[in-house]
A and B are shown apart, each in its own frame.
Chain A
Amino acid sequence: MKSQKNDFYQSVLEMNLNPTKRNVYTAVDVGLKEAQYMAEDCYWSDFLNPLEEMLGQCITFRHGIITGYEHFVKYNLNEDLSNLVLNTELMLGLKHDSITSSRLDDFFDRESHPKMSSIFEPKRAKLEDSLFYQSVLGLGPNPDKNDVAKSYLIGINEAQCLINGIYSAEEDSEFRSLLKDLINWRYAHINGYQHFMKYGLNNNLGVVVSGTKALLQNQKKKVRDRKFDEMMVKKWKQEEEDEENEIARK
């Protein structure tokens, strides 16, 4: 998909000093499209460089929000826009983690199994597994409040399942899969943003997953630390046993 760089900032600049409600909403629509294009580019990217470029695009997006701030405040849109760009940035961060961790895995696989796939072979997250994404897809261009509310509830439930999953994960592979699920979740949220925004639901959706990236990292570290401690205790015990056996033999 073609990236529409800085269209939002341009459309904010094109608003005159006293824009009409229509002008402001048009600029917001342009911002939504830009964030959705970014989310799509980010989702399908297998390289780190484009993500850095997108981060630059997010900076310009925030510049657009600040430049047109008074107009967005007037129509109560500033929080939605701010959360939209925050969601996009968090998705970029998750994707960055996902690419680096899968490259490391591939690297170690390749070291031990030289015939394994190439280091840059894309690893796609399974979007069809995400109920939230499926429900957002099913909304269509002009859904009614009931459908949006249903999708919202599915999103909340899926986020809660993800958080429970993070707390109970024990293996690195589980954490990687959860990372991909989080990317899917954010991708779905950004895709259905205009509908959630219309019915004032997107901010609550954003809150439900806030801090999940940090939670995932903390939990991963906790599990790794525990496993390392267990391994060290096992090693010490083995060494003690060996020493005792040595003494007994003597």
Chain B
Amino acid sequence: MKSQENDFYQTVLELGHNPGRRSVINAYRVGIREAQSIADKVCDAYSTDDFIDLKKEYITLRRAYVAGLSYFVKYGVQKDLDILMLNTVSMIHMRSGLIRNEEFYKGIQSIAESEKKRKQEESKDEELDTESNLVN
């Protein structure tokens, strides 16, 4: 799915002071599309760095929702948008948590491996030293 960054925020800004039902529902649909785009990207993210931009996108999505809240309440779509936001942020939160855990364990594993290698090399050096001492 093509990314539609901040379209929802732009659409809400363009609503003006007294938008009609059609404009508000249109903005609401744009919001759904943007949340869908974020959800797709969350599933494609494989490192914690990927989540930095996604979190920013989510904040803009939420900002747009707050900016247009009075109109969304007026036309009865506020609760649906609220649930959509909750689902989106839960996805981001859970997946970034899982990936952070994976990265943490991988990091620990690589530290342990390099430590093991270092110790092996040290013991080899010691062996060589004792051998050369014996020869001398």
Contacts and interface: CB of A to CB of B under 8 A. Distances in A.
Interface of A: 52, 55-56, 58-60, 62-63, 65-67, 69-70, 73, 78-79, 82, 85-86, 89
A66 B29 contact: no
A78 B36 contact: no
Contacts of A66: 35-36, 39, 84, 87-88, 91
A246 B94 CA distance: 59
Contacts of B94: 55, 58-59, 62, 89
10 contacts: A58-B94, A59-B91, A60-B43, A62-B90, A62-B91, A66-B35, A67-B36, A69-B80, A79-B83, A82-B86
Given A59-B43, A66-B39, A52 B98 contact: yes
B95 interface: yes
B12 interface: no
A56 B98 contact: yes
Contacts of A73: 80
Given A52-B98, A69-B36, A70-B29, A63 B83 contact: no
Interface string B79-111: 110011011101100110010010000000000
Contacts of B83: 78-79, 82
Interface string B60-90: 0000000000000000000110011011101
A58 B79 CA distance: 22
Main secondary structure of the interface of A (DSSP, over half): helix
Of all A-B residue pairs in the complex, the 4 with the closest CB atoms, nearest first, are A66-B39, A62-B91, A82-B83, A62-B87
Question: Which of under 10, 10 to 19, 20 to 34, or 35 or more describes the interface residues of B?
Answer: 20 to 34
A130 B101 CA distance: 35
A58 B98 CA distance: 12
B42 A63 contact: yes
Interface in B8-23: none
B43 A63 contact: yes
Contact of B39 (A62, A78, A79): A62
B32 interface: yes
Contacts of B86: 82
A55 B102 CA distance: 14
Contacts of B42: 59, 63
B87 A82 contact: yes
A69 B91 CA distance: 14
Nearest to A66: B39
Contacts of B43: 59-60, 63
Contacts of A79: 79, 83
A58 B83 CA distance: 16
Contacts of A58: 94
A60 B83 CA distance: 16
Given A52-B101, A78-B80, 7 more contacts: A52-B98, A56-B98, A59-B91, A66-B91, A78-B84, A85-B87, A89-B90
A52 B98 CA distance: 8
Nearest to B93: A59
A167 to B, nearest CB: 28
Contacts of B36: 66-67, 69
B39 A67 contact: yes
A33 B35 CA distance: 25
Nearest to B86: A82
Contacts of B87: 62, 65-66, 82, 85
Contacts of B32: 69-70
B72 to A, nearest CB: 13
